[in-house]
Structure 1
Amino acid sequence: MTRPQSLHQSILGEIEDKILSGAWPPGHRIPSEHELTAHYGVSRMTVNKVLTQLAAGGLIERRRRAGSFVSRPLTQSAVLDIRDIRTEVAALGLPYRYEVTVRRRRRAAGADRALIDLQAGAPVLELGCVHFAGARPFCREERLISLDAVPEAAEERFDEVAPGAWLVGRVPWTSAEHRIRAVGADRDAAALFSMAEGAACLAVERRTWSAERPVTFVRLTYPGDAHELVARFAPTQG
């Protein structure tokens, strides 16, 4: 005789099916504990147990204050240094400069929560920069800085030091996460890099924390045919 599934097992199986079938793709935000509790008519303890089991199995990622998200599949991981873009340009033997194109203090919106672990409405500084190697644009930078973690950034104009180098000098980071992917050039990137819309670009996304407190999210976009990333790593033991 087959034993009936418990509510916990039933909810777990339903959410697993949505993730594994692709109905909830990587990066999809899972309904909150409160929403799941109301939807299934169960206790919050039951929902928390389900989410904890999904996280332990690597199917979801739980971010403090931001919620739970479907994990992105990883085929290989490597640790990358956080390098100053000035150093990258110097390695080419070209003069470096940068321009701040966007500087906006605002409150974190819902879309920001998937980028940086902040509550909606938290104060952030939104920045946009273009970095040049010689006369040519080298990299486009899009950045969010948590003003709770770095309040002095609200008054910084970044006229003399680029945001990345300024942050490294002000806030010692304790952990970082990189995501590297190929993207098609959007209209602004196509115009900036003098390429066709949809042409291959390399996007490096990074989040950093200082003692568990989120500090910044940055997306660096490079022309795909003019940049590569190299990481040196060793095989894991066992």
Structure 2
Amino acid sequence: MRRNSFRDIKSELERRISRRVWEPGETMPGEEALAAEFGAARATVNRALQELARSGLIERKRKSGTRVALHPVREARFAIPLVRTEIEASGSAYEYRLLKRAVEHAPVWLQERFGLPAGAPALHVRCLHLADERPYQYEDRWINLAAVPAAGSEDFETASPNEWLVANAPFSRAQFSFGAARAGSEEARALDLDPGEAVFVAERATWIAERAITYVRMVHPPDHRVVTWI
């Protein structure tokens, strides 16, 4: 009989966390129980749990056991920032405006990037974050409703998808990219810039196991700076 490897166990535990078999903050079965369930050595289970802890999905503490992280996204190696926190930490007043919310068929480029079937439903949200009433970030986001169905019932009128996803959609891997671009007509209008003016662009995509969660394009005025601590 084939024995489960630590990768098999890690993948299955990721799946259970993504499907909310264990809710955020809930204590998971111990190593001994998991070893018995998967027919694996306790050391193999331990390695799988270590990998999940490093990705930020779970928290492990001696004597108190292992639990699903309450805010797993923020425990990842590269933290997903909250735009509200960024702005308020700078001493500015935060404001949020929803510009668009619609369930649409995922466009072809998103299907190809995320491996989605033709006609897959996706939530398309466009919004604007402001600092002291000045445009700070234009957010153009797609959410895979097959991976995060609860997002379909959120109106995002008063709270941004950035905040909601950090609290409700843990991820196990992500891809980040940063670069300069020229503002498109809608981006320029939202950011109060001239069309074609230089902008700073950050793009991010996240997955839980092999299931894509979200893709977001974040466009900032040309004077924007990214500061991070390691």
Number of aligned residue pairs: 154
Deviations 1:164-204 (A, max 9, x none): 11011111111110011100111222222222222110111
Change over 3 Å in CA distance of 1:193–1:206 after alignment to 2 = same
How far off is 1:232 after superposition?
4.9
TM-score (norm 1): 0.61
Q: 1:100 to 1:116 in 2, by over 3 A?
A: farther
Alignment partners' CA distance in 2, 1:169 and 1:127: 17
Alignment deviations for residues 89-114 of structure 1 (CA, whole Å, 9 cap, x no partner) = 11221111211111110211213224
- Structure 2 Cα separation of the partners of residues 115 and 102 of structure 1: 23
1:183 equivalent in alignment to 2:166: no
SS at match of 2:99: strand
User: 1:36-47 counterparts in 2 under 5 A?
Assistant: none
By how many angstroms is 1:231 displaced?
4.2
Are 1:218 and 2:216 matched, yes or no? yes
Per the alignment, do residues 165 and 196 of structure 1 end up closer, same or farther by CA in structure 2, a change over 3 Å counting?
Answer: same
CA distance in 1: counterparts of 2:96 and 2:89, whole angstroms: 16
2:125 aligned partner: 127
Q: In the aligned structure 1, how far is the partner of 2:114 from the partner of 2:197?
A: 27
Percent identity, aligned pairs only, is: 36
Residue 118 of structure 1 aligns to a residue whose secondary structure is coil
Larger relative contact order (Cα-Cα within 8 Å, sequence gap ≥ 6): 2
RMSD of aligned alpha carbons? 1.6
2:162 to 149, 164, 175: 164
Q: 1:29 matched to which residue of 2?
A: none
1:8-58 alpha-carbon deviations (Å, 9 max, x no partner): xxxxxxxxxxxxxxxxxxxxxxxxxxxxxxxxxxxxxxxxxxxxxxxxxxx
- Alignment pair present for 1:194 and 2:192: yes
Counterparts of 1:97 and 1:166, CA distance in 2: 16
Distance 1:166 1:178 in 2: 19
Tell me the distance in 2 between the aligned counterparts of 1:192 and 1:162. 16
Equivalent residue letter for 1:165: E
| 8 Å Cα contact 1:116-1:217 kept in structure 2 | no
Relative to its length, the structure with more helix (as a share) is 2
**2:114 aligned counterpart, secondary structure:** coil
Query: Which 4+ residue blocks in structure 1 deviate beyond 6 angstroms?
Result: none
From the CA coordinates, give the structure whose radius of gyration is larger.
1
Write the distance in 2 (CA, Å) between the matches of 1:115 and 1:222: 24
